[in-house]
């Protein structure tokens, strides 16, 4: 199989897994990603009159929030299910006239050179089969002087307050005093005899994103870390892992609905028992946010 065919297979498989979870993804994104999305838009001063591209828009959170600030936003994604949710949400939010959602390959954008004032991307670059191609396309389609903000999932510095907090959670997890995402669901699925692959997270080792952005021509590349700690209910603990974790999502969406429902029932019951015994369910979010100019 050629690299091109393998890349196409990864994208198609990824799209199918997102199509199957689009509604849940939208709900969870609204709950867990709105604050980081607002921070990203603040960092590049998105406002009225900006033409904005949201690369890998998902259910359109960044595009819709940008439109609410007066921008004209275009969101692209390879999941039809996600795009449908994005447009419905934009119409519900009253910003449908300032948003457009289009099925498109992030590594081969169908836009002219220098089409946008701002490009944004939330948790997408790491999952592209060819992140370099995606970065080149973001650079090509930004206007001279245009602004970029992109984020990838990342742990905090081990010596920061957040890093020390995360380390404490890991210790509590090893002592059996808490369950941590995403390892908890992965361990449960493996215990059921399921094999988790990495088909839906094409690049688990992206390298230095700052160097990647500079290599395609971006200037003034800066970064900052963002993180939050959540204690969800047992059902939501299943949902955030089954939807947001690519390995779990890909494994589960390949199963029939009855099997998925039974696994969900068993896992939630296990989590509820842990909570009754005074243990915590912990879902941490963490990201490196990069800003740059063209």
The count of domains in the chain is 1
Tokens 């447009």 locate to: 87
pLDDT of residue 7: 52
State how far the Cα of 121 lies from the Cα of 138, in Å rounded to an integer. 10
Name the percent of the chain lying above pLDDT 90.
76
Q: How many CB atoms lie within 10 A of CB 15?
A: 18
**Residue 200's pLDDT is what?**
42
- CA atoms lying within 13 Å on the CB side of residue 130: 16
Read off the pLDDT band of 127 (50, 70, 90). confident
Q: What is the Cα–Cα distance from 4 to 214, expressed in whole angstroms? A: 25
Mean pLDDT to the nearest integer, 241-260: 92
- Higher pLDDT among residues 19 and 244, named by residue: 244
Q: What CATH number has the domain bearing residue 282?
A: 3.40.50.150
Check residues 134 and 3 and name the one with the higher pLDDT: 134
Predicted confidence band at 204 (pLDDT cuts at 50, 70, 90)? Answer: very low
Q: Which residue has the higher pLDDT, 70 or 12?
A: 70
Q: Is the model more confident about 128 or about 24?
A: 128
Per residue in 158-188, pLDDT (tens digit) is 888 888 898 999 999 999 899 999 999 999 9
Q: Are the C-beta atoms of residues 64 and 90 closer than 8 Å to each other? A: yes
Please tell me the predicted confidence (pLDDT) of residue 155: 86
Neighbouring CB atoms inside 10 A of 269's CB total 11
| Alpha carbon distance, N-terminus to C-terminus of the chain | 36
Residue 35: give the domain boundaries: 3-293
Rounded Cα–Cα distance for residues 75 and 153 (Å):
20
- φ and ψ at residue 128, rounded to 5 degrees: -75, 140
The rounded mean pLDDT for the chain is 90
What pLDDT sits at residue 141? 98
Rg (CA), the chain: 19
Cα separation, 33 vs 90, in Å, equals: 16
Of 13-17, 58-62, 69-73, 254-258, least confident by mean pLDDT is 13-17
SS (H, E, C) 14-44: HHHHHHCCHHHHHHHHHHHCHHHHHHHHHHC
Spacing of C-alpha 138 from chain mean position: 17
Q: Answer whether residue 199 shows pLDDT above 50.
A: no
Alpha carbon distance 205, 177 (integer Å): 30
pLDDT of res. 23? 74
The tens digit of pLDDT for each residue in 94-125 reads 999 999 999 999 999 999 999 999 999 999 99
For residues 131 and 152, the answer to whether their CB atoms sit within 8 Å is no
């Amino acid at each position: 199989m050629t690299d091109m065919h393998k890349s196409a297979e990864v994208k198609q498989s990824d799209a199918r897994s997102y199509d199957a979870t689009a509604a849940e993804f939208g709900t969870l994104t609204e709950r867990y990603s709105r604050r980081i999305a607002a921070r990203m838009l603040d960092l590049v001063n998105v406002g009225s009159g900006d033409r904005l591209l949201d690369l890998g828009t998902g259910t359109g959170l960044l595009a819709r929030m940008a439109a609410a600030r007066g921008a004209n936003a275009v969101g692209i994604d390879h999941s039809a299910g996600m795009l449908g949710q994005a447009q419905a949400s934009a119409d519900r939010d009253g910003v449908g006239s300032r948003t457009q959602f289009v099925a498109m390959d992030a590594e081969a954008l169908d836009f002219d050179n220098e089409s946008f004032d701002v490009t944004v991307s939330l948790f997408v670059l790491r999952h592209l089969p060819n992140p370099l191609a995606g970065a080149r396309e973001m650079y090509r389609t930004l206007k001279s002087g245009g602004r970029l903000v992109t984020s990838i999932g990342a742990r905090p510095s081990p010596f920061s307050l957040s890093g020390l907090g995360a380390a404490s959670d890991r210790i509590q997890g090893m002592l059996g005093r808490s369950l941590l995402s995403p390892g908890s669901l992965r361990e449960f699925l493996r215990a059921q005899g399921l094999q988790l692959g990495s088909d839906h997270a094409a690049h688990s080792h992206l390298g230095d994103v700052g160097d990647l952005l500079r290599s395609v021509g971006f200037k003034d590349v800066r970064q900052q870390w963002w993180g939050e700690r959540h204690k969800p209910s047992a059902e939501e603990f299943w949902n955030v892992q089954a939807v947001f974790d690519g390995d779990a999502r890909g494994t589960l969406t390949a199963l029939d609905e009855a099997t998925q429902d039974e696994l969900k029932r068993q896992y939630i019951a296990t989590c509820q028992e842990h909570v009754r015994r005074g243990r915590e369910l912990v879902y941490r979010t963490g990201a490196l946010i990069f800003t740059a100019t063209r």
